Structure 1
Amino acid sequence: MQRIAFFLIGIILAGCGGSGSDSGANTPPETPANSISRCTVQSTPQIITSDNIRFYLQSQYLSHQQSSVVATLANGTSSGYQFHWQQTSGTPLTLTVTDNAVLPFVADSSGDYGFEVTIANAEQQYTAIINVIVTEGDALSIRLDHQVVEGADVSLRVDRRSSSSIQNISWCVAYGPDVTLNLDDVEVPLFTTPQVNSDSLLIIRATGTANDVQLSDDVNLLITDEAAIDSAYFDKPVARTHSYRADSPWRNVLQGCVYSNQLTNSCTLTTLPLIGQETAENASDKAAIMNRVLVSHDWMGKNFEAFLDNLDPHSDFATLLQSVTAIVISYDVRPSFYWVATGAIYLDPEDLWLTAAERDTINEAADYRSAFGQDLQFLVPWRYVKNNDYASIYRSPALRQSRSLAELEPDLASLLYHELAHANDYFPRSIHSSLQGPTLVDDYNRRSANKALGSDQLTNTLPLQSTEMQSLAEVNFLGDNATATERSYSPADVASFFSPDRANDFYNYSTSREDAAMLFEEAMMSYRLGIQRDVAVTDKPAVISSSTVTVNWGQRGRIAEPAIQPRAAMIIDYLMPELDGAAIEAALPPPVAMRAGESWLANLALSNNGKNTPQLVSPKNISEQPLRLSGERQPWTQQ
């Protein structure tokens, strides 16, 4: 995600990443950078102008290579315009991105290919057809040619061949402005786009060897000129987005109210009300929900809609979504979060891709929180499990695999339960008709001052006890400096603070809002999906992975601990009063202790045989998956 600094009210950002930082105002660490030179041989794109549209074509197109056609208006600006591409001739291609200025594609065979682009706004529309010739050849393939706003973070990735990495990779600028790359991972360079005065093409070249043959590829990026940032809400560049539904009655206000560098004040409830204020008669009106979806790429909205249609049988998410104003899904959102200043939920599309081509469009820039808590001598990993196996299937981006819609469920469901818990904590459906406004921030301030939120009531009635865990959470999640005492805590010390208390995860201690959301998330995952959550306190070896960290203490299904059950039941009743929190908690499987002294991976297979004591279970043939740590909702981050 672009590191968005929020200055309006320090406490109104919630749920970064489902298990992430509660403050967006932390300053991210400096990213190391490497200057790259200009290529000895520069690229010369073909520039063709037709009907006020300027096309940039590659000097050559090769089969099996990631390629693109770039279009913008001849006057050098595309701000305020929508793009739509379609193929007009040639062997049919799979076109994943048809709604941006850059049309990426891969042709599996040589031949002539034609494409039509339409560029339109409310007053004007331009259409033109362009043809390219693809020939047989061999080259590298860099993912992904795409459109990006000036000043934004960008990631690229060199395709591997037959799962083998390319050797001796080097990078240079082949056309356009100079840039500086972070080459910590030479296969996945990161950089920030320069400022431009008009839409400008940038071509970066990668060169490497495969089977002792030197190959190269040019990646084409259209850097778009944007209006000067004057928002205290979004003070870093955000991606261009559009209403997923072109006929949405809210399409003219969505972007300006929830994801814009020109947002200077929170929109009023008369301009953009909560979904539930519009659909009070029908809380599961999915059409009304999809009218509030704002995307950077249409596939994101399509997959989100498919999830609601096929994997929300109890309408939990449709019901909980009544307490948001919009759903923003954009390639630059990382981590996911809910924000009361806009009333919107922001989703990292890493939880929504189905094909490798869709995943290519997502920015891989790191979550800024990954540097927090490095002085501490312990880790708190977590995972969701079912039938003694990982509930989620890890698919490395380097392998370019696809996945089924059903595979989205564990990660996306847990994320939505968590982030929508925040929205419903702040604005439960029971108060929608009595909201006074004029903005949600005004209502939040009144409710917060009166300690009227569900999380406030939870803290007042059944508070957490450990001051040590509270202080450690401020270090690990909010970026505070650790004291000498905190730096000396061993895993056993931390386990002794955590295990007797009433939190189901370390992240509960970051804020009272996260405490409530963590309880709700784990309880609903177990109740609805039969998926249990593991949590443990481990050591922190030099090399950190699922097989190298050693469990000092841990539990599966901690949400069913007798001391935690009343807290979870209370928040379930508040957020979804149509359910019976106490009955749900009573029916959950009892917690199972982990085997101390064994690795996190070795503790994947557990059984209690009806007792709350660990029993050895013969593990399945399970491959190691990256370690997920408390507070991380950036999927599959590996320390």
Structure 2
Amino acid sequence: MNNKKYKLSALASLSMVLAACGGGGNKAPTTEQKDKPPVTVSAPAPTAAFVHVSETEPMIGDFVELILLSSSRTEKISDIQWTQIAGNPVTFLADKSKLISFRAKSAGNYAFEVSYRKADGSTEKITSEVTVSQQEATITAALGYAMQEGQMPNRSRASLAAYYYQESFTPDKVEWSLVSGGNLEFEPSEDGRSIFFDPPEVEEDTVFDFQVNVTKNETTFTDTVSILVEDAPPISENNVIAYRHRLAKVHSYNPASKYADVLQKCTYSNTLRYDLTCTFAELPLLGQEYEKPTVEQVMDRVLVSHDWMGERFEEFLRQNDQHDDFKYLLRAVTAIVISSDVNPSYYTALSGAIHLSPDYFVTSFDEYLTYLKSPDFRASFGSKLQYSTRWELKNKTAESDAQYLLYHELAHANDYFPKSKWPFYSDSQRLLDAVYPDIQRSNMQSGLLSRAMPLNSTELLALGKVLQTGAEPTEEQQAFLPEDIIHFFENDSASQFYNYASIQEDYASLFHAAMLKAREDSDVVVSIHDKNGDMKWGQAGRIGKADIKPRVSYVVSRVLPEFTELDTFLESLPEPTMLDVNQSTPANSSPLVTSDRTWLNNK
């Protein structure tokens, strides 16, 4: 694959800038309406740039994009800063990017100023105005979600989607067209509501304008959406490059952090190399600097694609860490990356950074539209098997999603870089060099657990490779019935089926199950289903099982030694509870615990 030509910018992941604007009428669009170009607002000569406005007559409820473009298209502009200078206050979530998008919630005139630095070092400003009509939009087009082709990290397909403001709105027909920008092939979803496409190669920053026509009862509603595809330097195809797919633009959440200049280079860059990772002197573990980091010290290590992601993460730490668990656990990381192109979340010893999907922290529809929503690439694994497994959290709260995520991923961090080894790392050591010998010899904490108290079901361990890595199931595995899986699982010491993915996942899954129970009284509920989805067996609170408690003790005492109530907690655990297969049906079948998104109904 040639990675040279494109970079998708600002508002969404892989730098794809997608948002909605325009639109709305209550009648079928005429040819003139379809062909009407977006507005271009130019500053008086001799400016080096101009602003592309995506819609001439936006309505209430529409998204509007303003895109800063170099007049020559190839001249580099930097240090971008957008500011609203007139009109009812609006929210735009990427004020330092070439593209901003805002949702017009009321009629009136709006004005924006953008400042930028030219290639010669001088600065300029441009003012742009947008007038929102009194009409209310019925539909709006915006960022949809991206489908990942294969496992992470791989190239994603970009997507646009039509959203309907009337909850019961069911269109008769949805049609998309490319209005301007050049050649770009796209594929519609089955219902036409979304389109998918591969970002094209470009020689210069290029705007593509799409139009969607949504027809119901012979009335057609129209909206326009603009995307910006930026030119970018090539990515090396050398095998030592860690990320050979285009990453989103990220920046230090706290620009005054003493690590602001190295966070991206050391953790989330297309130049990051396996053989030249940063040293502990350049970017140490938090725990090498602080015995108990403050929230401010944690936030100095946060790298984001959009500032709201850092804001929500900071709010979460301040409001949901009364026991200081997460601050202690975060000592084993060098950085926290929250970016529009991270999905699923993961930890890597390459950089010592934890990478979190913004989907766990989003609180509004506007935020929701700034990142790509990729279905879990593992969803189709195991489709040839005669059974399926599911899990959920009992007594789930609004914060359970992020709590689960952090307990799980930070268990990985403390597995690779346990507290007992922090004093022995030298400043000159590279992170990966420090941990690689333990990885090779399976001497990480999870490896020691697997030798001391291993999982015993060879059948489920082999099936774990099918369900988590996509390995082709054997004929014997395809013949297993739910009753076989029940027998294997009941007699083993896993807290849930995800434990069988790897020894590292076994370790992290035991930890998150224990801590969610200890702090939130939330049990992990697991179940086994037949091909029709009917539940054949289910159980809650497996960490109370006699042969699982010692494994939980082993993990928690090493990951979070500050949890001094561990022995009392283990003694208080009840025996697992069987589910009534006729009444209980755990809903989700993925490690991702889906949030309550009631705000989507109030978009």
Which TM-score applies when normalising by structure 1? Answer: 0.80
Q: What CA distance in whole angstroms lies between the structure 1 residues aligned with 2:118 and 2:451?
A: 52
- Aligned equivalent of 2:132: 134
**CA distance 1:322–1:489, shift in 2 (3 Å):** same
Q: What do the CA deviations read for 1:179-235 (whole angstroms, capped 9, x no partner)?
A: 233423522333221111121101111111245410111111111111111262111
- Aligned equivalent of 1:587: 572
**Matches for 1:117-266 after TM superposition, within 5 Å:** 117-120=114-117, 125-137=123-135, 138=137, 140-144=139-143, 153-163=157-167, 164-185=169-190, 186-230=192-236, 232-264=241-273, 265-266=276-277
Contact 1:491 1:552 in 2 (8 A): yes
- Aligned equivalent of 1:270: 281
Q: What CA distance in whole angstroms lies between the structure 2 residues aligned with 1:76 and 1:250?
A: 33
Greater Cα offset, 123-132 or 476-485? 123-132
**CA distance 1:288–1:556, shift in 2 (3 Å):** same
Greater Cα offset, 549-558 or 448-457? 448-457
SS class of match (2:84):
strand
AA matched with 1:316: D
CA apart distance, 1:323: 0.7
Q: What do the CA deviations read for 1:139-173 (whole angstroms, capped 9, x no partner)?
A: 63112499xxxx75322221113212333011111
CA apart distance, 1:268: 2.0
AA matched with 1:585: L
CA apart distance, 1:278: 2.5
CA apart distance, 1:293: 0.8
**CA distance 1:182–1:585, shift in 2 (3 Å):** farther
- Aligned equivalent of 2:350: 341
Greater Cα offset, 429-438 or 165-174? 429-438
- Aligned equivalent of 2:453: 462
SS class of match (2:410):
helix
CA apart distance, 1:80: 8.1
AA matched with 2:95: T
**CA distance 1:467–1:114, shift in 2 (3 Å):** same
Contact 1:43 1:175 in 2 (8 A): no
**CA distance 1:219–1:564, shift in 2 (3 Å):** same
**Aligned partner (choices 371, 381, 390) of residue 372 of structure 1:** 381
Unaligned runs of 5+ in 1: 5-38, 393-406, 542-548, 605-626
Q: What CA distance in whole angstroms lies between the structure 2 residues aligned with 1:427 and 1:434?
A: 11
Contact 2:50 2:126 in 1 (8 A): no
Q: What do the CA deviations read for 1:516-554 (whole angstroms, capped 9, x no partner)?
A: 00000010001011111100111122xxxxxxx222111
**CA distance 1:162–1:630, shift in 2 (3 Å):** closer
SS class of match (1:236):
coil
**CA distance 1:529–1:161, shift in 2 (3 Å):** same
**Matches for 1:323-402 after TM superposition, within 5 Å:** 323-386=332-395, 391=396
**CA distance 1:119–1:560, shift in 2 (3 Å):** farther
CA apart distance, 1:477: 0.7
- Aligned equivalent of 2:57: 61
**CA distance 1:634–1:125, shift in 2 (3 Å):** farther
Q: What CA distance in whole angstroms lies between the structure 1 residues aligned with 2:55 and 2:364?
A: 28
- Aligned equivalent of 2:540: 556
CA apart distance, 1:59: 4.3
**CA distance 1:583–1:73, shift in 2 (3 Å):** farther
SS class of match (2:52):
strand
Q: What do the CA deviations read for 1:544-583 (whole angstroms, capped 9, x no partner)?
A: xxxxx22211111111111101001110001111224333
- Aligned equivalent of 1:614: none
**CA distance 1:316–1:471, shift in 2 (3 Å):** same
* 1:307 and 2:312 correspond: no
Q: What CA distance in whole angstroms lies between the structure 1 residues aligned with 2:327 and 2:124?
A: 38
- Aligned equivalent of 2:68: 71
AA matched with 1:574: R
Q: What CA distance in whole angstroms lies between the structure 1 residues aligned with 2:475 and 2:144?
A: 48
Q: What CA distance in whole angstroms lies between the structure 2 residues aligned with 1:367 and 1:558?
A: 25
Q: What CA distance in whole angstroms lies between the structure 2 residues aligned with 1:360 and 1:319?
A: 32
SS class of match (2:212):
strand
CA apart distance, 1:327: 0.8
Contact 1:234 1:260 in 2 (8 A): yes
SS class of match (1:272):
coil
CA apart distance, 1:274: 1.3
SS class of match (1:381):
strand
Contact 1:550 1:600 in 2 (8 A): no
CA apart distance, 1:125: 4.2
Contact 2:144 2:373 in 1 (8 A): no
CA apart distance, 1:325: 1.0
- Aligned equivalent of 2:39: 46
Q: What CA distance in whole angstroms lies between the structure 1 residues aligned with 2:258 and 2:351?
A: 18
Q: What CA distance in whole angstroms lies between the structure 2 residues aligned with 1:79 and 1:473?
A: 49
Q: What CA distance in whole angstroms lies between the structure 1 residues aligned with 2:482 and 2:385?
A: 10
Contact 1:66 1:144 in 2 (8 A): no
Q: What do the CA deviations read for 1:428-487 (whole angstroms, capped 9, x no partner)?
A: 222212114621111111223454321112111100000000111111111111011111
Q: CA RMSD in A?
A: 2.6
* 1:629 and 2:589 correspond: yes
Q: What do the CA deviations read for 1:285-319 (whole angstroms, capped 9, x no partner)?
A: 22121111111111000000000111111111111
- Aligned equivalent of 1:620: none
- Aligned equivalent of 2:404: 414
**CA distance 1:121–1:557, shift in 2 (3 Å):** farther
**Aligned partner (choices 103, 108, 112) of residue 106 of structure 1:** 103
- Aligned equivalent of 2:600: none
* 1:574 and 2:558 correspond: yes
Aligned length: 544
- Aligned equivalent of 2:15: none
CA apart distance, 1:373: 1.2
- Aligned equivalent of 2:423: 433
AA matched with 2:59: S
Contact 1:459 1:512 in 2 (8 A): yes
Q: What CA distance in whole angstroms lies between the structure 2 residues aligned with 1:203 and 1:412?
A: 36
